[in-house]
């Protein structure tokens, strides 16, 4: 068992309004937004096949031949997060946290950073042109882009889900499908060839076409099998290593803005994954057709639609979620979740409160807690004020989109938040803090703090589990030194703060990190990715 560390990566819808009918401005918008984010460009000088930030300091995003369109111009931030361009969308990726509450704060911290970038980018636009950025998952032209969550799991559980135990895969798919009742942002109409509908719970539901697979942009699976642990291990070695870790990449969720929606999306998944690691997946909760259930449940905001379980029972999404909640409550109350999911009893209590209101037909009471409820309420009010409008009206579809606009004077969600209509589970002060500093209880703290100490001239390249900096060598040249932290749960503030306190220069930081973390690699780790800072000072190859 491992603590259920989590993170998110969110692609934004971005374009330039006022550029003319039919103009494709996504590339222009995403690059302008990325230029306006303060951070350290990854791989500024190496001749790899990616786009990069121009080393002259002009802030341009320069494309190379063979650049990866799904990972371009990545910048790392001092709060341990990063952002980059994915298929002409600005994508923000949060720092790792063990707490779902902290992850809500990290997510909103990155959204505030994106808001600042949007304002700065628009300040450079000529009259009549405005960059728009949306925290949504569909452009209403048949294209969907992702809002992904990531969870730390044992390699043993990952292998059970995707290789050895089909019922574990179906259990996870059934949990995600029924979770639409609180993870959906809400959507007007339908896409991807689906029959039209007035309003549905999820923006992503129309785009799921298969049960499992590693792909994220076509034939999207409910349970994604991408095997990219980001903790320095080869797949073959990981299967043999005791205590090996993996990353569950969840592409199913909508981008959510309400605090409660986001907390439940992450926190309930943490608890369920902890249950699955302890072999507590109850087979009686498996859906007969998870894909069919996703489509049926999303298209019924009355929450009365039923789907068949493998044992023949027919349940609503709220009924099935309530069954998952009952199992999770017993698990948490038994103490089996201790040390794995911070503040699990609070997550259970909130989960219960939301499902109780939905079960009783009082969804409107959750207006400040669930995105799909808040959006539906706002759109209904617009139609009530203007009886000529309907769910099919272009004006209503426009409001659907700008619900998630990042512009404070445009986005409906932010207007509601400023009016105090949105329930917060984390304080604004905590969100502001995580805009500047990384979380303290994961490797994100050392990564972000090292980047800040190295500064623009000292950062050579970076990744989730390593940072390469330039220190002063014996010859006076700036020699590269690579610091690696493949264990996401290590290199916390408590473990490495002493390396940074009072350090007169970067060389001292590197030396202290090496002294603080000299542990040898455990069995199964890659020999060329020695844990922590054991190879600090070596020239990068």
User: Looking at the annotation, which residues are catalytic?
Assistant: 86
| Residues in contact with 471: Cβ distance below 8 Å, sequence separation at least 6, in sequence order | 458, 478, 479, 480, 481, 506, 507, 510, 537
CA geometry: angle 50, 55, 61, nearest 5 deg: 45
- In this structure, the number of other CB atoms found within 10 A of the CB of residue 36 comes to 21
- Please, is 211 exposed, middle or buried when counting C-beta atoms within 10 Å of its C-beta (0-12, 13-18, 19+)? middle
Q: How far apart are CA 191 and CA 195, in angstroms?
A: 8
* DSSP-assigned beta bridge partners for residue 462: 467
* Secondary structure tally for the chain: helices H, strands E: 17, 20
Q: Residues 176, 177, 183, 186: what is their CA dihedral angle, to the nearest 10 degrees?
A: 160
CA 22 to chain CA centroid, Å, is 31
Q: DSSP secondary structure string, 88-151?
A: TEEEEEPPPBS-HHHHHHHHHHHHHHHHHHHHHHHHTSPTT-EEEEE-SSB-SSS-B--EEEEE
């Amino acid at each position: 068992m491992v603590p259920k560390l989590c993170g998110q990566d969110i692609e934004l819808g971005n374009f330039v309004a006022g550029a003319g009918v039919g103009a494709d401005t996504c590339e222009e918008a995403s690059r302008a937004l990325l230029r306006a984010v303060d951070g350290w460009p990854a791989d500024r000088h190496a001749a790899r096949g990616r786009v990069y930030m121009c080393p002259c300091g002009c802030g341009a995003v320069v494309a190379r031949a063979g650049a990866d369109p799904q990972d371009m111009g990545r910048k790392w931030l001092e709060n341990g997060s990063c952002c980059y361009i994915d298929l002409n969308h600005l994508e923000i990726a949060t720092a790792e946290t063990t707490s779902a509450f902290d992850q809500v704060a990290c997510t909103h911290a990155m959204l505030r950073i994106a808001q600042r970038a949007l304002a700065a980018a628009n300040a450079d636009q000529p009259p009549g042109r405005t960059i728009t950025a949306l925290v949504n998952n569909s452009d209403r032209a048949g294209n969907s882009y992702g809002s992904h969550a990531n969870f730390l799991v044992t390699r043993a559980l990952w292998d059970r889900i995707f290789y050895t135990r089909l019922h574990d895969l179906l259990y996870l798919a059934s949990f995600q499908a029924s979770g639409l009742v609180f993870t959906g942002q809400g959507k007007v109409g339908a896409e991807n060839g689906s029959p039209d509908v007035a309003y549905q719970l999820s923006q992503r539901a129309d785009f799921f076409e298969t049960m499992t697979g590693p792909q994220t942009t076509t034939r999207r699976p409910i349970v994604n099998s991408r095997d990219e642990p980001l903790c320095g291990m080869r797949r073959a070695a990981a299967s043999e290593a005791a205590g090996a870790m993996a990353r569950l990449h969840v592409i199913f969720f909508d981008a959510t803005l309400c605090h409660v929606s986001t907390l439940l999306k992450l926190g309930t998944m943490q608890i369920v994954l902890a249950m699955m690691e302890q072999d507590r997946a109850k087979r009686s909760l498996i859906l007969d057709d998870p894909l069919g259930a996703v489509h049926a449940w999303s298209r019924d905001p009355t929450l009365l639609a039923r789907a068949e379980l493998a044992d023949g029972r027919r349940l609503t999404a709220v009924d099935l979620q309530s069954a998952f909640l009952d199992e999770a409550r017993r698990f948490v109350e038994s103490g089996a979740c201790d040390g794995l999911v911070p503040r699990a009893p609070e997550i259970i209590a909130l989960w219960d409160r939301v499902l109780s209101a939905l079960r009783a037909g009082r969804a409107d009471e959750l207006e400040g807690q669930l995105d799909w409820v808040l959006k539906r309420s706002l759109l209904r009010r617009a139609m009530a004020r203007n009886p000529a409008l309907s769910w099919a009206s272009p004006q209503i579809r426009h409001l659907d989109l700008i619900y998630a606009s990042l512009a404070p004077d445009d986005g409906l969600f932010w207007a509601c938040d400023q009016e105090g209509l949105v329930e917060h589970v984390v304080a604004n002060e905590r969100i502001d803090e995580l805009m500047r500093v990384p979380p303290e209880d994961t490797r994100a703290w050392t990564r972000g703090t090292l980047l800040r100490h190295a500064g623009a001239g000292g950062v050579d390249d970076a990744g989730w589990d390593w940072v390469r900096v330039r220190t002063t060598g014996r010859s006076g040249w700036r020699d590269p030194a690579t610091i690696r932290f493949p264990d996401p749960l290590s290199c916390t503030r408590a473990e490495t703060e002493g390396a940074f306190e009072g350090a007169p220069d970067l060389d001292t930081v590197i030396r202290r990190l090496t002294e603080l973390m000299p542990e040898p690699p455990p069995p199964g780790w890659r020999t060329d990715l020695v844990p922590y800072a054991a190879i600090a000072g070596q020239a990068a190859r």
